[in-house]
Chain A
Amino acid sequence: MHAPAEQRSEIELELNGETRHGRTEPRTQLCDFLRHDLGATGVHVGCEHGVCGACTVLVDGVASRSCLMLAVQADGRRIDTVESLARDDVMNDLQQAFSRHHALQCGFCTSGILMSCVEFLQRVPTPDEAQVRDMLSGHLCRCTGYTGIVRAVLEVAGQRQSGESQQNASENPNDV
């Protein structure tokens, strides 16, 4: 199928739990659509060739490069971006651990890394360091040297296993 460039397609998707609509050209990358049409500027674009991982989002729960997908391919799907992680202005356990461990500096790669970590911890709830590093190999961070990121992920995995983090969250509902 070859659609003319100016032909716009109707897209309906679920973005961070809300149904969203837009019209865009068939060639529009998903990252551009999310950022510029739907306002999800937490999705960052670092290389547009699938190496840096900054644009990673969850597509139906699977961590995916939004620079390597077309917006039309996301029609009818569920997309979760970094903006979905905090609830009622409270950062989730992973975000809080990133701050504690100084796992970010400029923060540009962080959105994508967080989304990969979210999916990874669901698949691999008790990872060792080598597994965490292997998962992170799909991301480039130029600021941190990855140390804080690895520590944060391992800590959250441990906390979730011992149920600590849920307890903490309910004890400190106003923690901002």
Chain B
Amino acid sequence: MFSSFRQAMAWLHTWFGLVLGFVLMAAFFFGALSVFDREIDRWTVPTTRIAPQPMPSFEQVLRPAFERMHPTPAAIDAMRPRVDGAMPQHFDTVVNWSAYTTHRDPVLELYAGYEVPNAKDPEEAIWAYGTIDPRNGKALSDDQLKIGSGFFYPMHYSLTLDWKNLGIWIVGFSALMMLAALVSGVIMHRKLFREFFTFRPGKARLRSVLDLHNLTGVVALPFHFFFAFTGLVIFASTYYFPVGQTQLHGLHELHEQVEAQETGLPHDRAGVPAGLASVDAMVAEAQRRWAADGKAGDVGFLMMQHVGDANGYVSVYRAGTDRIALVGDGIHFKASTGELIRVDPPATPTGRVSEFLTGLHLQHFRHWLLRWFYMLGGLAGAVCIATGFVFFVEKRKRQHAQRGSQGARIVDALAVTTVTGMLLATLGILVANRLLPENLPARGDWERYAFWCIWALALLHAAWRSAPVAQGRANPAWREQCIAIATLALAAVVLNGITTGDYVWRTIATGYWPVAGIDLFLLCSAAVACLTARALKRRASAAQSRIADMGMARV
């Protein structure tokens, strides 16, 4: 079929790149946004615009907050089919309480799991979630959509297609094929080193597009490779090869019990009620031990297992802000007495590699420069895919126009939707977030609808304006959507100022960078979109006059 290996690679790169490029574009773009997910949360939930807080006192703040928690009626309804007989309305036996925070979180997330007496799977718990202000323990409304960590981040790894985890599988398959695309891309590239720094914007259209595609692909190759790979590693054992939950289920249970024996952390409740010693004292002891180990730091995750039982224990994990590897250095105490049960031993070499790889992708570290570099890598990937689309269309549209084929036209319309349309949808959800009334029921759902509606409108617009592509010319939708992007980005900044009083000059003056940074980024995006629209207009009128000249010459 192919006369050379390189040709076969080119076929693979072209077609898999085209089909999966649409998915990868979303993964790259929303991944880049997820680097700053907590900051986007601050922008979209103005009541949480406060400075990050450390883990608060358990006795004074956390315990009362945990005791107030209860599963929502919706969670109880969802559990009903997995219970034999009547569904209990109260859940008194707490399986575990846990609290999680990072160095970028001003609010604290709480989780509580309760035993369900008649559950078909006795191991299954029912969960309650809460968000509190760590300064005073006040519960914050939990139904406001955290657009950064609750929408853009799931978009990155699952496209929010939750049915049977379909989205996670689609993104995973695309990441796997992306690794193949990277290898085939390197093989196709004849002058990887000689053209390492090459970008010739003035050259013929096809050449300059290919230059940019190669440049953004090659210089960020380590980033592209490691992020596709570590993304797969993160989900491998939970979703892609869940042998522990399927074929090895019996062994898995047994392993849990053996592990409990080895670690001394009880697997089951004793059935004997017991009190709770001072958790703050346990936390202080854990911090003292970390400091003695040369790893002083804050608590990231605090968990209590078998609450109120003689077998109960408290686990304190460190927030890993000073290194890449995602380690907790967990220290465990007996809940009723506060006596030390266990200090997690250092990981095996394999474990350390895995911690480094997952930590590299999940980025819990405190390093703003590296965060911005990740953003740069993600956007370079997005540019690489976008130029791939443009190259595909530019290479074929004249031939397709001569043959009367609609292929290039369809791909171009889809490319407009995935590149500029996705930006419009993203800006649209931010604008909707500022425009919708504060106490609208199910506000988060309306925000999501706004996102998908705007994206659908962008698709319709791109398709409606695509006729010129079938004649070998450019689709004006590119330029028009650039203008819309600039408008929406400006609108988001202005609306943020009007609705919250946090005008961009004020947030800069007070140094509240989560919000100021996003506003500044939006303003820069608006400027880039304007410049792009202007360049596209200049190019369109140049093409117009060329066609007119040709017409004159023919006359």
The answer to whether A and B assemble together is no
Interface residues of B (CB under 8 A from A): none
Interface residues of A (CB under 8 A from B): none
